[in-house]
Structure formats: structure tokens, C-alpha cells
Amino acid sequence: MATEAPAPNPDPTLNVPITPELVEKHGLSTDDYELIKKILGREPNLTELGIFSVMWSEHCSYRNSRKLLKQFPTQKFDEDSRNKVLVKAGEENAGVIDVGDDFAICFKIESHNHPSAVEPFEGAATGVGGILRDIFTMGARPVLFTNSLRFGKLDSADSRRIMRGVVHGISHYGNCVGIPNIGGDVYFDDCYEGNPLVNALCLGVLKHDQIKRGAASGVGNPVYYVGAATGRDGLGGASFASKELSEESVADRPAVQKGDPFMGKLLMEACLEMMAVDGLVVGIQDMGAAGLTCSTCETAARGNTGVEIELDLVPQRETGMNSYEIMLSESQERMLVIVQAGREEEVEKIFEKWDLHAAKVGAVIDGTDMVVKQHGQVVARIPAYDLTEEAPLNDPEAKRPAYLDEIQTWTPEQIDDLTETGIAEALPKLLSDPTIANKSWIYRQYDQMVMTSTVEHAGESDAGVIRLRCGGPDKDKYIAISNDCNNRYCWADPYEGGKIAVAEAIRNLACAGARPLAMTNNLNFGNPNKPESFYMLKEAVRGLAETCEFFDVPVVGGNVSLYNENQESKIDPTPVVSVVGIIDSRQYITPSLIKKGNEAFILLGDVADELGCSAYLRVIKDLKTGKPPAMNLEKQASLMDFLQIQIQKGRIHAAHDVSEGGMLVALCEMLFTKSKTFGADLNLEDLPIDRWDTLFFGESQGRILLAVDANKADHVVHDAERYDIHADILGEANDEGILHIEAPNLENPIQWDSNELRKAWDDAIPQAMKI
């Protein structure tokens, strides 16, 4: 059945014939266009074409990735076989998972890569604002941010400009809205030159009965537009994010939105105040990507109803905007609210208190169409469900890139092992590599402590830890969060790289004393229409999904960012994962920094002859080759069980995952505390030693460094044996600030001044940014 054709548009420039060129310009294929005609039963007009183009972009419809994403587990059952996932991935703006006692958390990560490449400050700031709205839309009060950032190397002026802008943007928005930024991860690699990644995560807390849905229901209920006025900024941003960057992208700068954190803060407070009133809100949805279009059709589709809006009633900050522009604008800090009829005044009063717009722009109507009017005339009429849910799903071709076979045959035997001098020189070099170095240049620009519930923030523990206020000290809960993804591992083997990303994030949580609960991910990849790029996505998702399944960690939401390439380069596959865990008791919260000298260090886990894609190869040998280290999930599971019991016994003073840079880098990271730089005396006589480079700088997975009381070290090792976990006592920390290593086949002990190592680690990023 054909939908009734709209009248001619009041703006004559919109009354043009839809040519194949126009269709292509909107990023739609001829097949897509045929489907659109089938859905409408007629030709679309230009406004409708624009609406389809943004809704069917990868950004909104996941058309290239949706089939893959079905592999992710979406449920987690408690002891009483109740599903802890209260809102599943893809159902709403963000997923929600139970944390017990009627409390739940809601979290999601989202990318703002393309906007940040073109306009770093605004791109990153609006990334934070966008994810913030996704969380409070669900009825949750946001309580933390983290982010995963990827930049080109800092010897490039452009990378420095982008990093400075991105960090300022995140700090500008996040600090103003008063939510602590407690960590994340940052990598620097050539593949991100011109293709930076900015993935922002927000987590909120709510009671079970506070969950709000983005569904329109109840014919006659008014539809409200609240928040900032609509302008021409961010026009077609979702489509912009769904193609490769080119020189013309700079001309796409109008597709980058401009954020106003003050407005974001007011909107959050007003919405939370409104949602706290029982029965006032029927449905609520953020106007993020694809703005008014997406919020209108999605709420209608979820509610299986129709929605009609009149654009003349939409607050506008520019004059003469036509329907195409208003519907496709991505102006920030706006929400769509379906209000219970008869309670309009209560809503308006709340927004008046916060000095915000609350304009009644339409109503829930009979039928299932999204109807858009301007000056009283219909300018677009589209079946909402088909628009939202019937986006054609692609089945892109996948082809294994030829280079994989070539690089995977590489072994450490192809390079000379380190000499004693080489070992001594390599450590400070690795510590001053920006990916490994102290990141305080970045995180001291973020308010990490507002809300006064941050227990461990960036650099203090392997995971960020915060308290959830649940009604008093005996009821409060503690949650931990860790972001992770090593791009080079994923480049060399996307399946193993994906597994490692999830396993490492979970290991980080275990080090902080947490059990994993749920995950969100941000799949940053290249153009899916290129078979080799799509292969990487497909394999990485398989690795992520299997590992989530293995550890019973459901995926409660996320984001897909494809097309991260420009004319010169494309990014390595970067499936950023962020896992949230719960810490059963305050006493179990474990830092990564030691507090005093004479702590004994124990290394858990096996060392293998692995160097592929390590920081060592990258920094010292300037090589990008080799398989990533092997990941044994069963072994990690027993390692985590063991660690949890040791933490519960109160034996573990500090725990730190061995990752980029290997064992000595991990050790240094435990010694470099805020108030003091410790040293350590290591004697490696018990370690099996094949090569120095793999022992000291290899990145074999599933290893953890522990700091324990010297007189308890033997007990810990003894207990580890019962779990079949390899454990070696490496030596003890000292107050003298000397790092000293002896081993049976070292002719002379190797020694460093910890303060000099510390300086290399501390100064690297500030020095690079000073240029």
C-alpha cells in the first residue's frame, strides 16, 4: 500500500527530481533506492531521501556489521536463573545490567572519530556529550566517564594538534558536567596518523524501576522537544561518519557538531528531575546521530505507533531552515520526550526552572507512520518501523589479507638477543615510549574526583574503581572498569587480538579485585566494502564473542565505527572493549602501586618465547611483525580464581597485569608511586631463561605481578601450585631507589637508578607536547 505523497515542499529548492546522482550522493545504492520506493509505494521527496540516508547509514543501522554482532552473548544469569541483563544491546540507547539490591548500571561506549579528525576539540567534546545523553536518557544518573584514545606518533605536528584538541575537548565537556573521568587507555601508532580514534564511555546508576524506554505510546500523548535550539550544525553527521575521510572532509566541517556542556548539564538535571516524577514520562530519547529524524522514527517504531511533528514548533536558532535541514541537523543537547497527556504543565515547569526550551512539537498518532509537517503541510511521511528496522543488511565479502601468512611465520630467532648493555638501554627507551609512558599530562586535565566517590583513578590501579552510593556505607557498591585493545595484535591476528583485548580487560579487573559483569565495545575498523578490511572485522568479532562467552560476560551495547581510513592510510583493526566488574567488598579493592619498600614481588604465569607485535619490537627494533602472544583462556580463568582468593585472604598489597613492554615495564609501573619512587632487588635464579628479550620485554599473556608481604610470599607461591599456576618470587622492593637484577647467566648484575627511569617515564609526553 502506498503512503500518501506529501505536498510540494514550502522550500522550492527541495522540490527537485530524485536523480541517480542524488541517490548516490546520499550514500545509498540503487538497490537501497528500489527498497525505499517499495516501502513508500512511490518515489520519495528530497526530505524523505535525506531521512532514509541517515537512518540507513552504518552509523545508525549497523548495516554492515549487524549480522556479526549477533554472535555476542546478551544474557547473564544469577544463581536464581534470573537474567541480570535488564535492557539488552540494541534495544534502547544503552544496555542496563543488575548489580543487586534493586540497583542497576547502564553504560555504553561510542566513537566520535571522524569529527575529531576534522575538528578535534568539538569532535571530542560532542562525543562526551552524546554518550552522556545516551546514559541519562535511560533514567540513570551518570557517575563516570572513561575514554579510549588513539593518535598518530607525537613526532608529527598534526598528531600533537589532534591530541591537544581532543584532550581539551574531553576535559571541557566532562569537567563542566561534573562527572569524573577515571581512566581509559591511549595508544600512539603510525596507523592513527590522520585517523585518530576517540571512543568515549559513560556509566550511570539507577534503580530497576527507574529504567526509561525510548518508545512512543498512547495515541494523543504529546511529543515534546526539550533542550537547545536547532541550527544547521552537524548536518548529516551520521552519513559523514559512514564514509572514508578525504581532503574534502575538511569541507565537511559543518557536519561536525558544536557542543555546549553547560546546556548538556542543565538538560541532564532537568531530565533526571522530570523522570523522577512518577508517570510523567511515557518515552524519552536523545537526539544524537540523525537528530530529530532518528528520535522520532525510533520512538514510533519501538512503540509500534505513529508520531506526527510540526517543524514550525521546533525551537530554531537560525532563520529560514527547510525541512531537510531541520530533520538532518545534529545540533547537540536536545531530547525528544513523550509526555503523559494532561501532565504537560508539570513538564514545562521543570524545564522553565532550568531555563530550557520545552516545546510541544507533535503527538503520538494512530497508525505506524512518522509524519513530518511544516507550515501545516506534510513534508515527509514514512512507515517508521520499515525506516528503522528494515535497513538492508549487507553481507560484505571477506578476504584474508595476504600479509597475515607472511608475518605470522616470524619468530624471535630472526633477531639477535639482547646483550647486557642492550637490556640496560632498552628499559628507559621503552618507559619513554608515549604508549607506555606516564599519561598524567592527559588525565590531570580531567576532573577525576568530582562526585567524591572515585576510589582508584587512572594510574593508581589496573582498573578505575568507584563507589556507587546505594544508601549508606553498608549498602554502597564498588565497581571497576577497564578499557583495552592492542591494535598491533589485532593487525597481526584479528581473532587472537580480539580474544586478548577482552581477556586483558578482564585480567585488569581481577587485579583491581573485581569480578567481570558486562562489556561494551567500540569496533573501529576500515572500510567494510573492502574485503580485506571486512575480514578483519569479522575475525575480531569472533574472537571477542568467544571470549565473552567463555567468561560469561554479556555485551550490553556498543558502537561500530567503520571507514576509519584516509587516502594515505587506514587504521589497524581496533576493537576497543570496556568491561565493568563488581567488587564484592571494599576491602578487596587492590591498587597497582606498592606502598612501602620490602614488599616481595611474585610473577604469576608462564613466559614463552614470544615477541610478535610487542612494544619491544616497535620501540627498540622498529619492527611490526610476528604473531601476537598466545592466549589461553582456561589458564587465565584459574589465574583469576586464584587471585580472587588471595585478595580475599588479604595477602595482595598490589597487583598489576603484565602487558605492553613486558615484565620490567610492569614492575617499574608498580614502583613509580605518587609520593615516592621505589627500587627493587631481583634475583631471577629460579626463572627458566631462554632469551633475555623475551624474558624481560616479551608480552606473554596471562601474567600478573603481585606485591605481597615478604614473609607471606612462600604461602602465595605454594597456593599457586595447587591451582597449577606458575609462580616465581622475583625479589623485593627497596627504599633506596635502585633497580638491581641478578641472574645466574648474567656476568654482571644490571642496575638502574629508579629516579632516572622514572624521569624517562614521566617526561616523555610533556616533552613531546612542548615542541
Binding site for another protein (CB under 8 A): 168, 171, 175-178, 260-263, 265-266, 353-355, 443-455, 467, 586, 674
Q: How many CB atoms lie within 10 A of CB 157?
A: 9
- 274 touches 283 (CB < 8 A): no
Q: Could you give the C-alpha distances from 656 to 187, 399, 634, in angstroms and in order?
A: 19, 38, 20
Q: Least distance in Å: CB of 440 to another protein?
A: 8
Query: Residue 404 in 3-state DSSP?
Result: helix
Half-sphere exposure of 611 (CA within 13 A, CB side): 27
Q: Which is nearer to another protein, 674 or 722 (CB)?
A: 674
Check 26, 59, 114, 656 and give the catalytic one: 59
CB 361 within 8 A of CB 272: no
For the bound state, the minimum distance from the C-beta of residue 476 to another protein, rounded and expressed in Å, comes to 10
Shortest distance in whole angstroms from residue 443 CB to another protein:
8
**CA within 13 Å, CB half, 80:** 3
By beta-carbon proximity to another protein, the closer residue of 53 and 454 is 454
CB of 451 to another protein, least distance (A): 6
- Rounded to 5 degrees, φ, ψ at 469 are -75, 115
Quick check: 571 and 526 in contact, CB under 8 A?
yes
Tell me whether residue 465 or residue 663 sits nearer to another protein (CB atom): 465
Which CB, 174 or 558, lies closer to another protein?
174
Residue 228 corresponds to which cell in the numbers above?
Answer: 537547545
665: which 3 cell numbers? 615495564
DSSP string, 26-59: TT--HHHHHHHHHHHTS---HHHHHHHHHHTSHH
Largest interatomic CA distance in the chain: 88
Identify whether the C-beta of residue 39 lies closer than 8 Å to the C-beta of residue 28.
no
The angle formed by the CA atoms of residues 485, 486 and 488, to the nearest 5 degrees, is 145
Contacts of 274 (CB under 8 A, 6+ apart): 280, 281, 337, 347, 350, 351
Strands 369-374 vs 377-383: parallel, antiparallel or unpaired? antiparallel
CB 464, min distance to another protein, A: 13
Least Cβ distance, residue 265 to another protein (angstroms): 6
Distance CA 514, CA 482 (A): 11
Q: How far is the CB of 448 from another protein (least distance, A)?
A: 6
Q: How far apart are CA 88 and CA 554, in angstroms?
A: 9
CB of 172 to another protein, least distance (A): 8
Q: Is the dihedral of CA 584, 587, 593, 599 positive or negative?
A: negative
Q: Which residues pair with 560 in a beta bridge?
A: 523
Closest contact distance (angstroms) between CB of 642 and another protein is: 27
Q: Specify whether the CB–CB gap between 501 and 185 falls below 8 A.
A: no
Q: How far is the CB of 471 from another protein (least distance, A)?
A: 12
Q: Can you list the alpha helix ranges (DSSP code H) found in 700-753?
A: 713-722
Which CB, 62 or 443, lies closer to another protein? 443
The total number of residues written for the chain in this structure: 771
* Alpha-carbon torsion (403, 409, 414, 418), positive or negative: positive
By beta-carbon proximity to another protein, the closer residue of 265 and 656 is 265
Q: 353 or 718: whose CB is closer to another protein?
A: 353
Look at residues 504, 439, 725, 706 and name the one whose alpha carbon lies nearest to residue 591.
706
Measure the CA–CA gap between 458 and 461, rounded to whole angstroms. 7
Q: Is 519 helix (H, G, I), strand (E, B) or coil?
A: strand
Q: In what order do the strands lie in the sheet with 103-111?
A: 85-87, 95-100, 103-111, 197-207, 141-151, 181-188
Please report how close the Cβ of residue 260 comes to another protein at its closest, in angstroms: 7
Q: Which of 26, 112, 114, 457 is labelled catalytic?
A: 112
Specify whether the CB–CB gap between 76 and 553 falls below 8 A: yes
Judge whether 59 counts as a catalytic residue.
yes
Q: Write the DSSP assignment of 342-392 as a string of letters.
A: T-HHHHHHHHHHTT-EEEEEEEEESSSEEEEEETTEEEEEEEHHHHHH-PP
3-state secondary structure of 733: strand
**To the nearest whole angstrom, how small is the minimum distance from the Cβ of residue 449 to another protein?**
5
Specify whether the CB–CB gap between 234 and 329 falls below 8 A.
yes
Give the residue from 50, 747, 767, 58 showing the smallest Cα distance to 372.
Answer: 50
Q: Cα separation of 562 and 189, whole Å?
A: 18
Minimum distance from residue 755 beta carbon to another protein (Å): 18
DSSP letters of 205-273? EEEGGG-------STT-EEEEEESPB-STTTTHHHHTTS---GGGGGGGGGS----HHHHHHHHHHHHH
Give the residue numbers marked as catalytic: 59, 112
